[in-house]
Amino acid sequence: MFRRNPAKSACSLAWTTSAVLAAVLLFPPRVLAGTAGVGWDETIAAKSVKPGTVAGLAKLYDSGPCAECHRGIYDQWRKSTHSASMFNGGRMTAALRKFILEGLVRWPSSGVKAPGDVKVKHLMVCAKCHLPQLADATDEVAREILETIETWQGAIDGNDPKTRDQAAEKLSSLNIGCLLCHNRNAVIHKLVDGYPAAGAVYGNREGAHPGSFAVMKKGESLGESIFCGQCHGYGPNFDLENPVQCATAYGSYLFAYVRGGGGETCQDCHMRKNRLGHNMQGASEPVMDNAALDVATEVRGYLWKDVSTYVPRVVVEVSLTNRAGHAIPEGPPSSKRLALEVTATGGNNDAPLFSETRNYRAVSMRFGRSGLMGEGPHENSGFTDDTSLPPLQAVRERFDFVAKSEDIAGGRVVVRVRIRQLEDGALDSGAPDWYEFRKELKMEKYP
């Protein structure tokens, strides 16, 4: 039987550690020297001249050639929000403009005193997820993006639809396309699996591939939730100079859904089960089809004794069970709400008896704010609670109100659950519902 000598092992370990440290100091690997690791020089970014225009960056990561062989997948992707990550109907464009003009320009340590001072590194606060390839471009591209946004906004203000649409088309050419997922961001553990090579596409198998990307390689992480977590992450991006907190789905997935016994991946729910493939829609699109949220309701009347008098009352109980792999809603707390609305009418004239709305918001942005709208990164307004619906748990709500006996007998209750995008801070602003559940119940007279 082989036995180790503890003293000798400790000595050997010390010698080995010293030798490794000496080797690192004498021959430092490139990754420790502040440059990219081994294999970086084979990437698209390294082999290409840095684009100096929006058109050049769009061409470098153009998804168009992929459509020649993958038309079905391409058409799915075109319907997804990934294909409009820098425009998204103007919502992202407006948010980026606000971030620059009301954030960067006002922050004393940003180095941005005027829009012309904007560089790529400034926009990466948003572009890290909405346009990662911007890191491969020159600062002129960052400034051109801002100029295009200003042109777009000016055309809206000046009622110039032609110029507006031209600017929108230009901004829409920048997106999360095929080469982002299947090349640039395809490899997560680069020191183990190597950097993504310029002439390869990464998928679920190895082999030859037609066109300028002549090799197909297996992307070990493409089918795992960690892949989506690169953008749909934990919360504040602490690797940035000014961390912000937008996407939190992956953190919720790990620490609530998986911890609670969930076993699906992001791809299972957002690509396979909904049969939308690369469309990858979720709660922000109507195809959610009630799949992620169970709503159970019950209404009844009862007599409540108020000192010596019996008063007819009504109780409405609603149970919300989130079956998604993450909290609902998730994402920027400033923009999304899940609203539970309960209204009651009764009597012969259907008179209003009761109305109440309870809102649920995404995880707090405290210590992860962008510092806009007068709120600093460490704001302490008290409006910081996470009231989103956790996965795999039932959230039960009770509504209780007084009603006349005759109103209860002929009355009804409407329970409505909506997920909406706030516009200018107002839930009922005319913006379309992303998701809606509606059920009408008859009020039962007390026993």
Q: What is the helix (H) or strand (E) element at residue 172, kind and residue range?
A: helix 161-172
Instruction: Determine the pLDDT at residue 252.
Output: 92
* Other beta carbons within 10 Å of 133: 23
Nearest to 415 by CA among 431, 395, 399: 399
- Token pair recorded at residue 335: 């923009």
- Token pair recorded at residue 128: 């890290």
Query: pTM of the prediction?
Result: 0.82
Q: Where are the domains of the chain?
A: 40-222, 288-442
CATH of domain 288-442: 2.60.40.10
Instruction: Determine the pLDDT at residue 418.
Output: 87
Instruction: Determine the pLDDT at residue 58.
Output: 97
401, 415 Cβ separation under 8 angstroms: no
Nearest to 294 by CA among 319, 266, 328, 261: 319
- Token pair recorded at residue 48: 């290409």
Mean pLDDT by 10 residues, the chain (447 residues): 40 41 41 62 94 98 96 96 92 90 89 93 94 97 97 97 97 97 96 94 95 94 95 85 84 94 93 88 55 88 82 92 91 76 87 92 62 53 72 95 83 90 56 78 79
Instruction: Determine the pLDDT at residue 11.
Output: 40
User: CA 80, CA 65: separation in Å to the nearest integer?
Assistant: 18
User: CA 439, CA 339: separation in Å to the nearest integer?
Assistant: 14
